[in-house]
Structure 1
Amino acid sequence: MDFERVFDSFTERDWQTTTEGTVRFALVGLGWWTVDEAIPAIRDTDLCEVSVLVSRSEEKAQRYADEADVPHAISGADFHDGAATEHYDAVYIATPNAYHLQYVETAAEFDKAVLCEKPMAESVETAEEMVETANAGDIPLMVAYRMHTEPAVRRARDLVEMGAIGEPVQVYGNNSQPLLSIIDDPDQWRLDPDASGYGTSMMDLGVYPINTARFILGADPVSVQAQMHSEHEAFGDVPDERSSATALYEGGIHAAITATQNAYDDTELTITGTEGQLTLSPAFHMECRLTLEREDYEVTAEAEEINEMTEEFDYFADRVLSEEPIYADGEHGLYDMRVLEALHESADAGETVRLD
């Protein structure tokens, strides 16, 4: 098989349908991710611009708007009242998980497309409301799985479809980071179940290998079993400082997944088949390298100059401008929420939980 042609077109935007037009974004939630990652990424896009910043206080929004040369800054309350609606076409939501719904509701009220950070909500019930709201308002809703536009991940999916590893058999995924070193605050929202949801490690990190495997394999988990434990005092309110899970995906593919918010920075996803293996390492922390191994063949590649967030925003804008279907849409994100809920149910009960 001609696997080399996949690597020859490694950085190709195989998803792009238009090069014309601009989607103006209101960015909601001005934490470090939005300020340090999203705003610089959007500057490098072909189809997007930042036109409005939204924060709980207008003063904070204006401070960041001045720093980033963004023309409009408003408070969250003013956003919900309809301020600046003439200055943006879409909303990027990067607030804590529990607050996503209210911004989707306002976006739907004013007929604005939505790109919402993962996981899409703090609970399955809220995620269902988000999907219902978007459907009722007839607005595009995309969950921000940036791995879907990462070239290494897209090429991995191509290789699986080509049969490069034979029949997929098993998956191993890990995602870990030292959260308290990244954000030196034991009272941060990721450690607050009212804001984060079921927990912290699987919700924030484990969802990456779970969802990226879904994308590459074109298959969903049908049952899960999990164990979780919290040791450090800062994780006293969440059950999963350390977590591990097994999952059975459609087609009889077995997966083992580990995630922790309190360990050395490490990310990996390995998919093993009957004839070869694909490895993404590093995988999920804004860099990604793909290796294909077969008995008589090995090749490694990465897209060093490509920003995953830039690709994600341009993909979303491309779909909004062309009115083409979005992947991952709200229903896709809702399924991940059901998987996350099932993982926590399993850890509590000590039993395998099926997803019907």
Structure 2
Amino acid sequence: MKKVRYAIVGAGWISQVAFMPSVANSGNSEMTAIVTGNAEAARKLTDFYGIGRTCDYDGYDALLAEDVVDAVYVALPNSMHAEYAIRAMKAGKHAIVEKPLAISVEECEEMIRVAEENGVFLMTAYRLHSEPGTIEVLERLRKGEIGKPKLFASTFSFQSPDTNHRLKGEHWGGPLQDIGVYCLNACRHVFEAEPVEVHAMKVHGNGDPRFTEVEGSMAVTLRFPEDRLAQFIVSFESGETDFYTVIGETGSILVEPGYRFQVTPKIRVSRGDDHQTVEVPESDHFGGQVAYFSDCILTGKAPEPDGAEGLADVAIMLAIEQSAKTGQPQKVSLPPRPRHPEPSMVRTVPRTDRRLVL
């Protein structure tokens, strides 16, 4: 079977703990190169995974010019996503880019344009779009099990270490961009619509030195068409919390944990006094994601979480930031998405304990 060859661009924590270990079990993907500025890490990772090619960032274009990789996985700080994805796509390589896709609407638009001009796929790394539990929830909503969804609520929080680059303003860091994007993306697909108005409030940790450049916590309210509402709170300064709940006309669905990749989500459907726990197959989120993207590449079918999907969340997050800054609600105007996550996108991939985290 032909496999899609990937270069890992940015061999930091998420690459080491999640993406790189997942590739071997995907069935249709392999790692053939690592791009990193840490030569010692590169040596250890290439030895561990049996990867034949490595280079630093100065050698990136030379690598792309060789017949070594078909696609890149970009897991760099947010401010570097656009540059490294665009360079790869101009060289004819497909790109899967960690979220948020970029730091501005203009950068997202340029990434989309370059992908189209060069006949390659650009996918925003929304791993949950191929995860069985997420699709189970969306399918139950589509079947009307709790009536029409009316409300969405979520909290996602943890204590961020002070060394995290996501605390840097220059990289468009902060809890909204790092974990709030999960809540935002979830409510958009729960309602299968784009918000028309957002209102937000932020705090900076009450003097905590971690939050001089980015928020410590943020609370967001979104209005959707047909008078539906979503609210979420995200935080880098609070105990670990991870859930979302959808409340419909006749019942509710609670998903806890809702977003973390390390564990299988637990789903509880409630209608009055009737409570049902839904079993979800265990699956490696990152393995499912790369298997899905590689299938898209091999079959020529465009991925659902494409560049426009990433652009939508970036545009909404910028409006959220403006609201938090001014204290005023912000209008949002986006075209409806032509596609949403659905069962054909699910890839159930075995988890692995084989990883090297430096």
Q: Of 311, 314, 327, which aligns to 2:291?
A: 314
Amino acid at match of 1:342: A
Report the counterpart of residue 188 of structure 1 in structure 2.
164
What is the CA–CA distance in structure 1 between the aligned matches of 2:41 and 2:225, rounded to whole Å?
A: 46
Q: Of 210, 213, 228, which aligns to 1:234?
A: 210
Report the counterpart of residue 356 of structure 2 in structure 1.
none
Q: Of 254, 258, 276, which aligns to 2:233?
A: 258
Shift of 1:78: 1.1
Report the counterpart of residue 144 of structure 1 in structure 2.
125
What is the CA–CA distance in structure 1 between the aligned matches of 2:160 and 2:320, rounded to whole Å?
A: 21
Contact 1:82 1:110 in 2 (8 A): no
Question: Helix, strand or coil for the counterpart of 2:282?
Answer: coil
Contact 2:132 2:281 in 1 (8 A): no
Report the counterpart of residue 38 of structure 1 in structure 2.
19
Instruction: State the number of aligned residues.
Output: 329
Structure 1 pair 34–302 and aligned structure 2 pair: CA distance change class (3 A): farther
Shift of 1:302: 4.2
Alignment of 1:45-84 (within 5 A): 45-83=26-64
Compare 88-97 and 54-63 and name the one that shifted more: 54-63
Structure 1 pair 85–173 and aligned structure 2 pair: CA distance change class (3 A): farther
Report the counterpart of residue 298 of structure 1 in structure 2.
275
What is the CA–CA distance in structure 2 between the aligned matches of 1:58 and 1:73, rounded to whole Å?
A: 9
Q: Of 291, 299, 304, which aligns to 1:327?
A: 304
Contact 1:173 1:257 in 2 (8 A): yes
Contact 1:160 1:217 in 2 (8 A): no
What is the CA–CA distance in structure 2 between the aligned matches of 1:337 and 1:189, rounded to whole Å?
A: 19
Compare 304-313 and 294-303 and name the one that shifted more: 294-303
Contact 2:9 2:34 in 1 (8 A): yes
5+ long unaligned stretches in structure 1: 1-19, 181-185
Q: Of 317, 337, 340, which aligns to 2:317?
A: 340
Question: Helix, strand or coil for the counterpart of 1:81?
Answer: helix
Report the counterpart of residue 7 of structure 1 in structure 2.
none
Report the counterpart of residue 4 of structure 1 in structure 2.
none
Report the counterpart of residue 205 of structure 1 in structure 2.
179
Amino acid at match of 2:311: L
Shift of 1:84: 6.5
Give the percent of matched residue pairs that are identical in Structure 1 and Structure 2: 27
Structure 1 pair 83–308 and aligned structure 2 pair: CA distance change class (3 A): closer
What is the CA–CA distance in structure 2 between the aligned matches of 1:122 and 1:310, rounded to whole Å?
A: 26
Q: TM-score, normalised by structure 2?
A: 0.88
Pair 1:271 & 2:237 matched: no
Shift of 1:45: 0.8
5+ long unaligned stretches in structure 2: 334-358
Question: Helix, strand or coil for the counterpart of 2:196?
Answer: strand
Contact 2:81 2:101 in 1 (8 A): yes
Deviations 1:132-182 (A, max 9, x none): 2222222100000111112111011101110111011100011101111xx
Shift of 1:58: 4.5
Shift of 1:120: 0.7
Structure 1 pair 321–83 and aligned structure 2 pair: CA distance change class (3 A): closer
Report the counterpart of residue 15 of structure 1 in structure 2.
none
What is the CA–CA distance in structure 1 between the aligned matches of 2:157 and 2:66, rounded to whole Å?
A: 39
Report the counterpart of residue 197 of structure 2 in structure 1.
223
Runs of 4+ in 1 over 4 A off after TM superposition: none
Alignment of 1:279-298 (within 5 A): 279-286=254-261, 287=263, 288-295=265-272, 297-298=274-275
Compare 105-114 and 26-35 and name the one that shifted more: 105-114
Q: TM-score, normalised by structure 1?
A: 0.88
Amino acid at match of 1:339: I
Contact 1:104 1:133 in 2 (8 A): no
Structure 1 pair 135–67 and aligned structure 2 pair: CA distance change class (3 A): same
What is the CA–CA distance in structure 2 between the aligned matches of 1:73 and 1:254, rounded to whole Å?
A: 47
Contact 1:104 1:114 in 2 (8 A): yes
What is the CA–CA distance in structure 2 between the aligned matches of 1:302 and 1:24, rounded to whole Å?
A: 34
Contact 1:226 1:343 in 2 (8 A): yes
